[in-house]
Structure 1
Amino acid sequence: MLSIIQPNANSTALKLISLPSPTINPSLGEHLIRVKACAPCAGELLWPKNFPPPSPRELIPCPDVAGIIISGPEDSPFQPGDEVYARTNYSRPGNACEFSIGVTEELAHKPKGMSWVEAAAIPVSAETAWQILCIHAGIAGDAEVDFATAQAAWRGKRVLVTAASGGVGIWVTQLATLLGAEVIGTCGAANIALVQSLGATEVIDYRRTHLREWAEQPGKKVDVVIDCIGKQSLEDAWWTVRDGGVVLSIFQPPKQACPKDFKGTGVKGVFFVMEPVRRHLEEITKLVELGKCRGMVDSVWPLEQYQEAFQRLDTGHARGKIVFDLSLNH
Structure 2
Amino acid sequence: MRAIIQERYGAPEDVFALKEIDRPVPGDGQVLVRVHAVPVTGSDWHLFRGLPYAARPVTGMRRPRNRVPGLELAGTVEAVGGDVRELRPGDEVFGWYGGTLAEYVAVPRDQLVPKPANLTLVQAAAGPISAFTALQALRDRARIRPGQKVLISGASGGVGLYAVQLAKAYGAEVTGVCSTAKMDLVRSAGADHVIDYTREDFADGRVRYDAFLDVYGNPSMLRCRRALRPGGTLVFVGGSGGRWFMGTDRWLRGTLLAPFLRLKARVLVHKDSREDLVLLKELIESGKLTPVLDRTYPLSEVPEAIRYVREGRARGQVVIAVADPA
Whether the TM-score (by the shorter chain) exceeds 0.5 is yes
User: 282, 295, 306: which one pairs with 1:286?
Assistant: 282
- CA deviations on 1:276-309 (whole Å, 9 max, x unpaired) are 2111111111121122220011211001112211
**Residues 133 and 263 of structure 1, relative CA distance in 2, 3 Å threshold:** closer
Supply the distance in 2 between the matched residues of 1:106 and 1:323 (Cα, whole angstroms).
19
RMSD of the TM alignment (CA)?
2.7
Q: Could you tell me whether the CA contact under 8 Å between 1:39 and 1:64 is conserved in 2?
A: yes
SS in 2 for 1:192: helix
Give ranges in structure 2 of 5+ residues lacking alignment: 240-247
Give ranges in structure 1 of 5+ residues lacking alignment: 140-152
Q: Could you tell me whether the CA contact under 8 Å between 1:116 and 1:327 is conserved in 2?
A: no
SS in 2 for 1:17: strand
SS in 1 for 2:110: coil
**Residues 36 and 135 of structure 1, relative CA distance in 2, 3 Å threshold:** same
User: 59, 69, 76: which one pairs with 2:77?
Assistant: 69
In structure 2, what is the equivalent of residue 38 of structure 1? 38
Of 260-269 and 272-281, more deviation after overlay is shown by: 260-269
> CA shift at 1:242, angstroms?
2.1
> CA shift at 1:10, angstroms?
5.1
Supply the distance in 2 between the matched residues of 1:239 and 1:263 (Cα, whole angstroms).
14
> CA shift at 1:316, angstroms?
2.9
Supply the distance in 1 between the matched residues of 2:131 and 2:118 (Cα, whole angstroms).
18
> CA shift at 1:178, angstroms?
0.8
User: 154, 157, 160: which one pairs with 2:151?
Assistant: 160
**Residues 235 and 66 of structure 1, relative CA distance in 2, 3 Å threshold:** farther
Compute the TM-score of the two structures, normalised by the length of structure 2: 0.84
Supply the distance in 2 between the matched residues of 1:290 and 1:247 (Cα, whole angstroms).
29
Map 1:193-272; keep pairs closer than 5 Å: 193-213=184-204, 216-217=205-206, 220-232=207-219, 236-252=223-239, 253=248, 255=251, 258=254, 265-272=261-268
Supply the distance in 2 between the matched residues of 1:257 and 1:79 (Cα, whole angstroms).
49
> CA shift at 1:115, angstroms?
1.3
In structure 2, what is the equivalent of residue 147 of structure 1? none
Aligned-residue sequence identity (percent) comes to 30
Supply the distance in 2 between the matched residues of 1:307 and 1:272 (Cα, whole angstroms).
29
Q: Could you tell me whether the CA contact under 8 Å between 2:153 and 2:217 is conserved in 1?
A: no
Map 1:177-196; keep pairs closer than 5 Å: 177-196=168-187
The one-letter code matched in structure 1 to 2:70 is: C
Q: Could you tell me whether the CA contact under 8 Å between 2:153 and 2:215 is conserved in 1?
A: yes
- CA deviations on 1:69-99 (whole Å, 9 max, x unpaired) are 12224443222211100122xxxx3211101
Dislocated runs of 4+, deviation >4 Å: 232-238, 260-264
In structure 1, what is the equivalent of residue 135 of structure 2? 130
> CA shift at 1:194, angstroms?
2.4
> CA shift at 1:314, angstroms?
1.0
In structure 1, what is the equivalent of residue 167 of structure 2? 176
In structure 1, what is the equivalent of residue 2 of structure 2? 2
The one-letter code matched in structure 2 to 1:185 is: G
Q: Could you tell me whether the CA contact under 8 Å between 1:226 and 1:247 is conserved in 2?
A: yes
Supply the distance in 1 between the matched residues of 2:200 and 2:233 (Cα, whole angstroms).
22
Compute the TM-score of the two structures, normalised by the length of structure 1: 0.83
The one-letter code matched in structure 2 to 1:110 is: K
The one-letter code matched in structure 2 to 1:177 is: K
**Residues 256 and 8 of structure 1, relative CA distance in 2, 3 Å threshold:** same
SS in 2 for 1:211: coil
Q: Could you tell me whether the CA contact under 8 Å between 2:236 and 2:251 is conserved in 1?
A: no
In structure 2, what is the equivalent of residue 16 of structure 1? 18
Supply the distance in 1 between the matched residues of 2:171 and 2:66 (Cα, whole angstroms).
43
